[in-house]
Structure 1
Amino acid sequence: MTAAQEPSHAFDRRTVVAAVGATGIAAVLTACGGSDQAGASEAVKPAGGGGAAAGSGAALAKTSDIPEGGGKIFADRGVVVTQPTAGQFKAFSSKCTHQGCAVTSIANGTIHCPCHGSQFAVADGSVKHSPATEPLPAVAIKVTGDSITLA
């Protein structure tokens, strides 16, 4: 094919490199959760926010399942239940407020996000280590006897 026969829509090298670079950036943002925070509030509504998960009343755990000074993550329900001090139970969304990743562990009084290292206090969900700047949203729970349910 001669230069005169080339289609007028031919791409130069810069256009192709720029398109590939933009696609790579989009893939990275999607993998990290991007900047879309909507997913962070869909799984579990904060206390008073209603929603199917918040109003289900289904038992999450027995009080004896939640270690004092620690907690337990219920990934399928999008909630973390903690026991900061003996007999005091709290619950928070399990979605990190930085970019919506799910928290995966609790140790030394903090809830940990594996994506970028954010840490939150088991007592109140406050940020203990950035990059997150907002606390984990509280989730309403009800403790009846030895049973913990979503309120």
Structure 2
Amino acid sequence: MDDTHEVSTGEPSDGATASERPGSVMPRRAAMAGVGAIAVSGLALAGCQVEDGGNGGGGGGNGDGDGGDGDGGNGDGGNGDGSGESIANTDEIPVGGGVVFDDEGVVITQPTEGEFKGFSATCTHQGCTVAGVADGTINCSCHGSKFSIEDASVVNGPAERPLDERALSVNGNSLTLG
């Protein structure tokens, strides 16, 4: 049996072979190999998807893979918002003032002795990073907004919303986000 399937071009046969008529004949094996390659590549791509915790079910496959070397996934994932790491000692934050930590995107204040607060360092007016803390306010130098060191409420606009609060833990002399 011939492994080719002739495609009619509407022209009379001239006796030419398949290789002499490009595009008019496609071997079945080539067609099936192409379909198989597409199916296998689809399964390979599906294997690269990021898991989201669901059980999504598995799809067939022939079990011929080697399973990998098991080296992936051993990183710590970074600290994201800095949670778990001490970013300051309590004695670094002045009573009645505060400090902006640019890298962590946070302002830590100490309104009264031993009371520490954490707020986002991003001004709610137009997203500038606040510049510093002075005279009982957290100050944005971009447009002059000022926020209370006690609760980050707006003391002076143009900002209309307070700074977002950030969770802050005190453990001995250590201040930790999260």
Identify whether the pair has TM-score above 0.5, normalized to the shorter chain: yes
Give the number of the structure whose residues are more often helix, by fraction: 1
1:29-74: CA deviations, max 9, x gaps?
xxxxxxxxxxxxxxxxxxxxxx9306x2111100000000000000
TM-score (ref. length: structure 1): 0.65
- For 1:63 and 1:105, the matched residues in 2 are separated by 17
- For 1:84 and 1:91, the matched residues in 2 are separated by 11
- Equivalent residue for 1:63? 90
- Equivalent residue for 2:81? 53
Greater RCO between the two (CA within 8 Å, min separation 6)?
A: 1
- Equivalent residue for 2:102? 75
- Equivalent residue for 1:90? 117
- For 1:57 and 1:133, the matched residues in 2 are separated by 32
Greater Rg, structure 1 or structure 2? 2
Letter in 2 for 1:93: S
Gaps of 5+ in 1: 1-50
- Equivalent residue for 1:148? 175
1:60-119: CA deviations, max 9, x gaps?
100000000000000010000000000000000000000000001110000100110000
Asked if residue 135 in structure 1 is aligned to residue 131 in structure 2, the reply is: no
Calculate the aligned-residue CA RMSD, in Å. Answer: 1.1
Instruction: Write out the 4+ residue segments of structure 1 that deviate beyond 4 Å after TM superposition.
Output: none
Equivalent residues, number? 100
Gaps of 5+ in 2: 1-78
- Equivalent residue for 1:101? 128
TM-score (ref. length: structure 2): 0.55
